[in-house]
Structures are given as C-alpha cells and as structure tokens.
Amino acid sequence: MSDLMELILIFSPIYAILIWTYFYPKESMLLGGRWKYKEEPEISERAIKLTKIYSVISIIIITISLIIFYNFYYK
C-alpha cells in the first residue's frame, strides 16, 4: 500500500501541471521561454488546441497506467 501512496505523491505534481496546461495553454507554452521575446508572441489557435489535446491524453494515459499498476500488483 505504501507503494501506491508513493506513486500518488509522485504523480500529483504531474497531474497539477497537466491540468494547469489544459486551462492555461498560452502560459504553459511560454513557460521558461518568455525571456526570448521582447513582445508577447502570437500563438495560433491550432497550437492551443493541440496543447489541450496533449494534456488530456497525458492525463488519461497516466490514469490508466496507475490503474493497471494497482490491479497488477495489489489484486
């Protein structure tokens, strides 16, 4: 059971980042790279949509992986 708690503690920040990426895609795309631009860069709607899709897919894959891990080792 402690292994499951460790996994939850490890993946909680990853979930938080992915949820933040879904709700604020422009800010997440510029994270750590805003210093490169003098003005606010123009991000296309397609790039925003793809960022949201990637974050949802990542959340789903991580959730399924945790469920499979739990069922494989604890059932």
Per-domain boundaries in the chain: 2-30+43-74
Three-class secondary structure assignment of the chain: CHHHHHHHHHHHHHHHHHHHHHHCHHHHHCCCCHHHCCCCCCCCHHHHHHHHHHHHHHHHHHHHHHHHHHHHHHC
pTM of the predicted model as reported, rounded to 2 decimal places: 0.81
d(C-alpha 16, C-alpha 53), whole Å: 16
What is the C-alpha radius of gyration for the chain, rounded to an integer number of angstroms?
A: 16
Taking only the tens place, the pLDDT of each residue in 38-59 is 888 888 999 999 999 999 999 9
State which amino acid sits at residue 67. Answer: I
- pLDDT > 70: what percent of the chain? 97
